A and B are shown apart, each in its own frame.
Chain A
């Protein structure tokens, strides 16, 4: 990535865009990122408001600050309070068959949003993007999209209000009309500035961003939202997707459309720690949904980066470094019981609890998550994928 990205690397800073997330210092400063991107912190008051409005406890990812930033989420809540609905939009770039727990995070949160607010959801599988960026064949990217759809469905989305589509299947008609409208409002200079494209990049890359932008507009889905042009859209995603939607929000008013709202998550750390990179080629950098109980136990015990001290005496004396400890971080993602997480942090940080105990608890929790996912995945048939992906009416999507 040239231009902005290079300058920042030379300054020793952070690169965050849809195709690269890295930091020369190892840690990502989320406060700086919020400032740089211009989005808002998700304040405690907003979380309490969600709890009040939905009469349900807020999701563990909200309580633990996993989803920590937003754009216009308060306006979505205002509208909801007035009785106006909205729809959800999220997606996945199907670059590999193997999904790990980090991939599931936005989907788990989206399911919570769908269930508590009782709203419809569109899920975009950007097989074309992966075909372009990863140089996969069209067939392979379509195949991966379908396989990934099964794991996504296994997260527990309601088929009566969820539409999953792949770009290669769905682009056309009203969707394409919106793509052209968006593309007419964005210059090459603009996308170069936002995404770091260059003159040497293939035109497929430069023309891709509108594809990810237009699901934010209800008129892209006439079979679902016809006559509801003012329906607002909320996009749960990881914060590296923010550039797409900065562009979209910029363009929306010019097209007479509502700006999409966003609710953004932090990055899921690799097993080996913040400095490690999660990659599909290193199966030990993450817990995969296909891992067996034995694999999980092995990976956590062997590879999970520990913030504990190097000897028991030192550990009892100084306690663990919770900042870099991966097991505690993972527990804060997946252990629902707030009291237990607090207890572990306190005891481990004070040195009274050992790394082995924390890891043991983590293994239990992760195994349960993976096992539940596998059970749900086993129930997903080809017909079910077809049904989720069928262009069909959803008459009760707001009930």
Chain B
């Protein structure tokens, strides 16, 4: 079932709430909170011809042209339209007029592609509904990012007013935001992990070890989301590498490789030489993977040092 507004309040993200009579339009919401100096949001829940879903959250003033957006997503000119009301209930689990980025907290919304107006980041605070119409939450966009991160989502900020040419040599710039899961109504009884695997662009997974598969799918989904951001959002820093996750993966894969190479057949085939054969392939595999990882670490560390260096303030005396 969907999260109630109380559960949302428990997540301890700093924000201010305002209660008011239920509203279903931005104008009505503005009547109650428009004077408070924050930025109102308008939220569109859209679907394309293949029933893939999109939640566009923009500043109320931003002009959102559905035709342009549709082209930028690679859906052609008329590919986007408003989602039907039932989808609102079933997928986002919010009442009419209450579309909000917070709705992605629901499992049922895991296939929905979220796009946020980059204009939010320049604002002191932004107004959204939590999961109900009779309240408005005001928070900073960075805190929205925190919330999204806490539920394992990225914060994809996009220039919604941009209208870049799309043609032979300029493929649609938002094409990576099109979700790969195509069902409108995912079965809520599916497990969370299988959702994660099926809802992201699934990359090659070693079938021999389901544990490794889940890990690889999880990180590939994370890295997939990270690399499609067109503007600055959540930046992986050296801390994500010092968590040891990439190293763990490599160790797991190496272990799987060893196991896969020692079978009845290979023992018969190589006999005593099997040790040499297996160690050779491990050497090749580990050698190349670790070298690649080392370059990434080196470049990341240099970058962080460089950034700190150009921003450092010399001692005052």
A residues 342-388 with Cβ under 8 Å of B? 364, 367-368, 370-372, 374-384, 386-387
Q: What's the least CB distance linking A164 to chain B, in Å? A: 12
Q: Does residue A156 face the partner (Cβ distance < 8 Å to B)?
A: yes
* Stretch binding the partner chain, chosen from B49-57, B167-175, B255-263: B167-175
Q: Does residue A134 face the partner (Cβ distance < 8 Å to B)?
A: yes
- Of all chain A residues, the one with the shortest Cβ separation from B305 is A387
Q: Which of A134, A136, A292, A375 contacts B201 (CB 8 A)?
A: A292
Residue pair A383, B307 in contact (C-beta under 8 Å): yes
CA distance A372 to B306 in the complex (A): 26
Query: By the criterion of a CB under 8 Å from any partner CB, how many residues of chain B are at the interface?
Result: 40
CA distance A371 to B201 in the complex (A): 11
Q: Which of A281, A283, A374, A384 contacts B223 (CB 8 A)?
A: A374
CA distance A378 to B228 in the complex (A): 8
Interface residues of A: mostly helix, strand, loop or mixed? helix
CA distance A150 to B303 in the complex (A): 13
Residue pair A95, B169 in contact (C-beta under 8 Å): yes
Q: Which of B168, B171, B180, B226 contacts A378 (CB 8 A)?
A: B226
Residue pair B303, A387 in contact (C-beta under 8 Å): yes
Q: Does residue A48 face the partner (Cβ distance < 8 Å to B)?
A: no
Residue pair A158, B303 in contact (C-beta under 8 Å): no
Q: Does residue B106 face the partner (Cβ distance < 8 Å to A)?
A: no
* Stretch binding the partner chain, chosen from B25-33, B128-136, B141-149, B293-301: B293-301
Q: Does residue A228 face the partner (Cβ distance < 8 Å to B)?
A: no
Residue pair A375, B303 in contact (C-beta under 8 Å): no
- Of all chain A residues, the one with the shortest Cβ separation from B170 is A96
Residue pair B169, A96 in contact (C-beta under 8 Å): yes
Q: What's the least CB distance linking B154 to chain A, in Å? A: 11
Q: Does residue B182 face the partner (Cβ distance < 8 Å to A)?
A: no
CA distance A368 to B292 in the complex (A): 13
Q: Which of A295, A370, A374, A387 contacts B306 (CB 8 A)?
A: A387
- Of all chain A residues, the one with the shortest Cβ separation from B180 is A292
In the complex, per-residue mask of A277-297: 1 if CB is within 8 Å of any chain B CB, else 0: 001110100000010111100
A281 in contact with B168 given A97-B173, A156-B292, A371-B220 (CB within 8 Å): yes
Residue pair A384, B303 in contact (C-beta under 8 Å): yes
Residue pair B299, A384 in contact (C-beta under 8 Å): yes
Q: Which residues of A contact B300 (CB under 8 A)?
A: 379, 381, 384
Q: Does residue A160 face the partner (Cβ distance < 8 Å to B)?
A: yes
Q: Which residues of A contact B224 (CB under 8 A)?
A: 374, 378
In the complex, per-residue mask of A211-222: 1 if CB is within 8 Å of any chain B CB, else 0: 000000000000
Residue pair B202, A387 in contact (C-beta under 8 Å): no
Residue pair B306, A290 in contact (C-beta under 8 Å): no
Q: Which of A134, A374, A378, A384 contacts B169 (CB 8 A)?
A: A134
CA distance A307 to B211 in the complex (A): 39
Q: Which residues of B contact A157 (CB under 8 A)?
A: 295
Q: Does residue B235 face the partner (Cβ distance < 8 Å to A)?
A: yes
Residue pair A292, B299 in contact (C-beta under 8 Å): no
CA distance A390 to B311 in the complex (A): 14
CA distance A382 to B235 in the complex (A): 8
Q: Which residues of A contact B304 (CB under 8 A)?
A: 383
Q: Which residues of A contact B222 (CB under 8 A)?
A: 378
Q: Which residues of A contact B315 (CB under 8 A)?
A: none
Residue pair A160, B173 in contact (C-beta under 8 Å): no
Residue pair B170, A97 in contact (C-beta under 8 Å): yes
A367 in contact with B203 given A290-B176, A378-B223, A379-B300 (CB within 8 Å): yes
Q: Does residue A98 face the partner (Cβ distance < 8 Å to B)?
A: yes
B residues 228-253 with Cβ under 8 Å of A? 228, 232, 235-237, 241, 246
- Of all chain A residues, the one with the shortest Cβ separation from B224 is A374
CA distance A329 to B304 in the complex (A): 41
- Of all chain A residues, the one with the shortest Cβ separation from B281 is A337
Q: Does residue B227 face the partner (Cβ distance < 8 Å to A)?
A: yes
In the complex, per-residue mask of A225-244: 1 if CB is within 8 Å of any chain B CB, else 0: 00000000000000000000
Q: Does residue B302 face the partner (Cβ distance < 8 Å to A)?
A: yes
Q: Which residues of A contact B176 (CB under 8 A)?
A: 290
Residue pair A378, B236 in contact (C-beta under 8 Å): yes
CA distance A345 to B25 in the complex (A): 66
Residue pair B202, A378 in contact (C-beta under 8 Å): no
CA distance A75 to B228 in the complex (A): 43
Residue pair A292, B292 in contact (C-beta under 8 Å): no
Residue pair B171, A375 in contact (C-beta under 8 Å): no
Residue pair B201, A294 in contact (C-beta under 8 Å): yes
Q: What's the least CB distance linking B208 to chain A, in Å? A: 13
Q: Does residue A153 face the partner (Cβ distance < 8 Å to B)?
A: yes
Q: Which residues of B contact A380 (CB under 8 A)?
A: 227
Q: What's the least CB distance linking B71 to chain A, in Å? A: 14
Residue pair A375, B223 in contact (C-beta under 8 Å): yes
Residue pair A159, B235 in contact (C-beta under 8 Å): no
In the complex, per-residue mask of B93-124: 1 if CB is within 8 Å of any chain A CB, else 0: 00000000000000000000000000000000
Q: Does residue B14 face the partner (Cβ distance < 8 Å to A)?
A: no
Residue pair B296, A376 in contact (C-beta under 8 Å): yes
Residue pair A280, B169 in contact (C-beta under 8 Å): yes
- Of all chain B residues, the one with the shortest Cβ separation from A290 is B176
Residue pair B298, A368 in contact (C-beta under 8 Å): no
Q: What's the least CB distance linking B200 to chain A, in Å? A: 9
A residues 136-152 with Cβ under 8 Å of B? 136, 140, 150
Q: Does residue B165 face the partner (Cβ distance < 8 Å to A)?
A: yes
Q: Which residues of A contact B292 (CB under 8 A)?
A: 156, 372, 376
Q: Does residue B164 face the partner (Cβ distance < 8 Å to A)?
A: yes
Q: What's the least CB distance linking A268 to chain B, in Å? A: 17
CA distance A384 to B159 in the complex (A): 22
Residue pair A159, B180 in contact (C-beta under 8 Å): no
Q: Which residues of B contact A370 (CB under 8 A)?
A: 203
Q: Which residues of A contact B232 (CB under 8 A)?
A: 382
Q: Does residue B312 face the partner (Cβ distance < 8 Å to A)?
A: no
- Of all chain A residues, the one with the shortest Cβ separation from B164 is A140
Chain A to chain B: the 5 pairs with minimum beta-carbon distance, closest first: A378-B223, A292-B201, A367-B204, A281-B168, A384-B303
Between A and B, 7 residue pairs with Cβ closer than 8 Å are A158-B298, A281-B167, A293-B202, A371-B204, A374-B224, A387-B306, A390-B306
